[in-house]
Amino acid sequence: MPGINARDFIEELRFDIREKDMIKAKLVLAKIGAVDDGVRKMALFELNRADDMFAIPLIVNLVAEHRDLAQTYPQIKEILYAKSLYHPEMLLSLLTRESKRENRVVLVEVAGETRLEGAASQLMGILNEDDDEMVIKAVIAALGLIGETAATTPVSEYLYSGSLELTIAAIYALGQLASPTAFQRLAEKLGADPDLDIMIMDVFAAAQSPEAIERLNEALSSHYAHLRNAAKQRLRDMGGKAVPILISNLVHDDPDLLIHTLNALGEIGDESAIVPIRKLLHNEPKDANVRFAAYEALGLLPVERGAFALAQGLSDPVGNVRAAAAGAIDRNYNTMLAAGLKNLIRAGDRETRLVAETVLNAGCETIFLDLLGEAGFESCAMDFLCREAHPDIRTHFVGLMAKNGYDHLAAVVTEQASSTAAAALSVFAVDDSKMILNIYRGILYSLGCESKLFEFPAEALQAIKSDPPDLIFTDLNMPHINGIELIREVRRQFEKTTLPIVMVTTQNETQDNAAAVEAGVNAIVHKPFNAEDLRKVLADFGKLPESREARC
């Protein structure tokens, strides 16, 4: 490079190191950015073989002044680490004496990254003495790396420092300290800021210790939707490790906790959850949403033995629960279940009609094909497909019958099916449960609405922007984007009077309801819902079209 002779650069550096002239050595190294790669490597070689007591402060200064160089040549820090570990007293002495901010930060980082013995007490002292935010941030991170549990309390104080950078540093440091007290302090911070809450949830998930899993489990009962959803996702992603504590939740009587727990257990898919969930159903929980979640979870698990117990769900007084039970039966179908269902449909026309409608609306192919030879079921199923079924359901089952040798029945449905009038109202339904979406589809069709169903809120938001509906139904507890966040996003483009939004939820939290109202929801409806509930909502907004039953 112009102005710097490579040979002179190295010779001068060697001379200054040999003479232990710190000032001149620093001046030489200040120009290291202006020499080529080969010269830099030669300079590192000279630093590596220099006397440790001289080289340590020299390299600290080099790293402080040339951060980018230390990133490009990790050997610089490796040399510093090796010399510091061989002479820890030198680094500790520099920690106490160094006044230059940048150099002090490097010393703190080295102490943390090398887990330097004896450094923790000095670092905690710096927290009490220094008010420089850059230094404090480095100290907090170093204490986390060292894992000194005695640092829990002083580090915790920075959760409420007023500086976002120090708060974030404290969150991650407490996660590395990983003591019960550290996790307790993090749990106490939850609820103040959604972004920080997610960071804390991630810290718990990364730790996966019993204490961390307990904190995630506690968040399932949070007053905040984003915390409940974040906890559920992380427990689900944790898999088998989370199952024991989730199973322990099933003895509680809090419906919301039970529902979130059952959702997580179903998605994890661990067989050890089957017996506790069946026991819960045996105790006949009063809340229909709990029964729905239990059957939905069993539908995701390999029930096999004891699957006959699922059949009782088809006699549940609530349609949503019957649909979830049908889905679970369809996935676990066996000869005992078949016998139980055949006995059930012989109980009378009304029971048979309910079973047929439930099986068809829930898309249960295995049950449908097995019961098709039963006269009562076949009659009810054909009548429903001809007169009331959603066109998508009708098309699907006509194709299924034709494919499985029931061409004559498929032809009957095709010939006798009621003509489908144009829908008067466009309605979007957003819910992360496919079963709930199936229920929306059937009910909204019967009410004369054209429905578009979305399992993923992000897709719904995109569709709302490009082709807005007349009304939106949205769930509250959904991963990634919850109902309140979806409402808030829609309201950026559409006013309440222009596009009504109804939140449909199992929760009855004052905090959730207040947040939904603040976000711009028009109404809140609680699950389980039926046709009359949705009919009333449409009527309240003056959007009730003529139902298809009325047209028949």
Please, which pLDDT band fits residue 89 given cuts at 50, 70 and 90? Answer: very high
Separation of alpha carbons 552 and 388, rounded Å: 9
Per-residue pLDDT at 242:
96
* Domains annotated on the chain, with CATH: 425-551 (3.40.50.2300)
* Residues in the chain, total: 552
Which pair of structure tokens corresponds to residue 443? Answer: 């009910």
Question: Among 270-274, 448-452, 541-545, which is the least confidently predicted range?
Answer: 541-545
Per-residue pLDDT at 546:
61
Asked whether the beta carbons of 292 and 320 are under 8 A apart, the reply is: yes
Residue 364 has pLDDT above 70, yes or no: yes
pLDDT (tens digit, 9 = 90+) per residue, 208-241? 999 999 999 999 999 888 899 999 999 999 999 9
Distances (CA, A) of 474 to 201, 225, 496, 521, 545: 25, 14, 15, 10, 20
Give the end-to-end CA distance of the chain in Å, rounded to a whole number: 90
H or E element that contains 475? strand 471-475
HEC states along 214-228? HHHHHHCCCCCHHHH
pTM of the model: 0.82
Asked whether the beta carbons of 169 and 158 are under 8 A apart, the reply is: yes
125 alpha carbon, distance to own chain's centre: 39
Please, which pLDDT band fits residue 542 given cuts at 50, 70 and 90? Answer: confident
pLDDT (tens digit, 9 = 90+) per residue, 473-482? 999 999 889 9
Which pair of structure tokens corresponds to residue 345? Answer: 């449909």
Which DSSP state fits 472?
A: E
Which DSSP state fits 158?
A: G
Instruction: Provide the b/e sequence for 468-506 (b: ≥16 CB within 10 Å).
Output: ebbbbbbbbbbeebbbbbbbbbbbeebeeeebbbbbbbb
Asked whether the beta carbons of 63 and 55 are under 8 A apart, the reply is: no
- Long-range contacts, 178-184 (Cβ 8 Å, 24+): 178/147, 178/207, 178/209, 178/211, 178/212, 179/149, 179/152, 179/211, 180/211, 181/149, 181/152, 181/153, 182/149, 182/152, 182/155, 182/156, 183/207, 183/209, 183/211, 183/212, 183/214, 183/215, 184/215
Separation of alpha carbons 429 and 478, rounded Å: 13
Task: Provide mean pLDDT across the span 414-431.
Answer: 81
Per-residue pLDDT at 363:
93
Question: Among 99-103, 304-308, 460-464, which is the least confidently predicted range?
Answer: 304-308
Residue 422 has pLDDT above 80, yes or no: no
Which pair of structure tokens corresponds to residue 322? Answer: 């019957």
pLDDT (tens digit, 9 = 90+) per residue, 56-80? 999 999 999 988 888 888 889 999 9
Which pair of structure tokens corresponds to residue 545? Answer: 């079209």
Higher model confidence: residue 361 or residue 423? 361
Residue with tokens 């098709």: 372
pLDDT (tens digit, 9 = 90+) per residue, 150-201? 999 999 999 999 899 999 999 999 999 999 999 999 999 999 899 999 999 9
The closest alpha carbon to 231, from 280, 182, 181, 190, belongs to 190
Task: Provide mean pLDDT across the span 371-384.
Answer: 91
Residue 492 has pLDDT above 70, yes or no: yes
Look over the chain and give the mean of its residue pLDDT values, rounded to a whole number.
Answer: 90
